[in-house]
Amino acid sequence: MKQFIILMGIIPFLLVFMMQYSLEQQNHYRLSLLQQIVYASKEQAKQDGYFTSENVKKLKSEIASNFDIAESEINIEVTSVPKYRINAFDERELIYYKVEVPIYKIIAGGKLFGISNEDNKMMYKIESYTSSEKLMP
Amino acid sequence: MKIFITFLAMLMLNIMFLIYQSDMNIYSREQNYVKAVAEECAAGAALYYEEIPYSIGVLKFNREEAEKHVQYIIDFSFEEEENASYKIDFFEEPETLVPKVNVNISISGKDYFRLSFLTKKEIVREASYELKTLD
């Protein structure tokens, strides 16, 4: 009976390991997917010379549906005026993009360890520049 | 006591497994990131060409401008402690019919794995950008 009671006590603690494994895999899958989505959007922006409003809209909706979050929670800052391909390096002609997405659960059973919801989240950021392939008209 | 020792062993094993899983995922994403930066550097570097040879139908890459582009992207993409280094290789006529730029990026410094028996301090990724004619 004593061992049974102890087992009952430590079962929630042991379950955390299994939950953490699943959560880590889920977060990793989502972040890898985010890298792919942003990469595809960036490739489109190279051709267009900037992030068109349709491109940004598609980017937001794809992220929102894959992350199960509202579009308003995604922070996107991108170049929205055309940049052109020129034959000399000029950083002003690069296309900038920054995508920030919230991850709401990093540790499974956070409350069991006294971690508040506020501390148990993070913003994942992808930020870089890309060159424009659009020719000057 | 026997049960307690077994429990401790299992606990250690579980913690080690979770640490490994987390580190491996970060390492895998970092590899993807370095690969994406290498692709960006190669794609950008291949855009600059020498105008005079181009006017007579020979494509020669403008190494100086390509270098500036790659340096800028690398400086922006990596922290100083990541010790990023790169190597650019240009393949152009007459050596090849398909001109291309190879960029090899290497970052090193911190150990990606926290477990003491695993050490991985370097990531090397390479990307190539080819200029093909339309058929």
Residue in this structure with the two tokens 């995922």, named with its chain if needed: B25
Q: Sort out which chain B residues have CB atoms less than 8 A from A91's CB and list them.
A: 72
pLDDT in tens, A44-81: 999 999 999 999 999 999 999 999 999 999 999 999 99
Residue A112 to residue A133: CA distance in whole angstroms: 52
Structure tokens at B36: 């994406």
Q: Does A21 touch chain B (CB under 8 A)?
A: yes
Quick check: A2 pLDDT over 90? no
| Beta strands at B100-108 and B122-130: parallel, antiparallel or unpaired | antiparallel
Asked if the Cβ–Cβ distance from A35 to B28 is below 8 Å, we say: no
pLDDT score of A33: 94
Residue B100 to residue B132: CA distance in whole angstroms: 9
pLDDT in tens, A77-135: 999 999 999 988 998 999 999 999 999 999 998 888 889 988 999 999 999 999 999 99
Closest chain B C-alpha to A71 CA, distance in angstroms:
24
Helix (H) / strand (E) containing A67: helix A53-67
pLDDT score of A9: 83
pLDDT score of B27: 94
Residue in this structure with the two tokens 């993807």, named with its chain if needed: B32
Could you give the ipTM of this predicted complex? 0.86
User: Nearest by CB to A89, which of B28, B51, B65?
Assistant: B65
Closest chain A C-alpha to B81 CA, distance in angstroms:
18
Asked if the Cβ–Cβ distance from B29 to A35 is below 8 Å, we say: yes
Q: Which of A77, A57, A73 is nearest to A127 (CA)?
A: A77
* pTM exceeds 0.80: yes
pLDDT score of B135: 65
Residue A6 to residue B114: CA distance in whole angstroms: 32
Give me the residues of B, 58-97, that contact A with CB < 8 A: 62, 65-66, 68-69, 72-73, 76-77
Instruction: Report the 10 Å Cβ neighbour count for B125.
Output: 19
Q: What is the DSSP string of B32-49?
A: HHHHHHHHHHHHHHTT-B
pLDDT score of B106: 96
Structure tokens at A76: 């996107």
Question: Would you mind telling me the total number of residues written for chain A in this entry?
Answer: 137
pLDDT score of A1: 82
B66: exposed, middle or buried (Cβ count in 10 Å: 0-12, 13-18, 19+): buried
Quick check: A136 pLDDT over 90? no
Structure tokens at A122: 């993070």
Is A89:B68 a contact under the CB 8 Å cutoff? yes
Residue A16 to residue A109: CA distance in whole angstroms: 6
Average pLDDT over residues A13-35: 92
Residue A115 to residue B87: CA distance in whole angstroms: 45
pLDDT score of A113: 84
Helix (H) / strand (E) containing A19: helix A2-48
Closest chain A C-alpha to B94 CA, distance in angstroms:
22
Task: Name every residue whose Cβ is closer than 8 Å to that of residue A64 and which is 6 or more positions away in sequence.
Answer: A70, A71, A73, A74
pLDDT in tens, B26-74: 999 999 999 999 999 999 999 999 999 889 888 899 999 999 999 999 9
Average pLDDT, chain B: 91
Q: What are phi and psi of B104, to 5 degrees?
A: -115, 120
pLDDT score of A109: 84
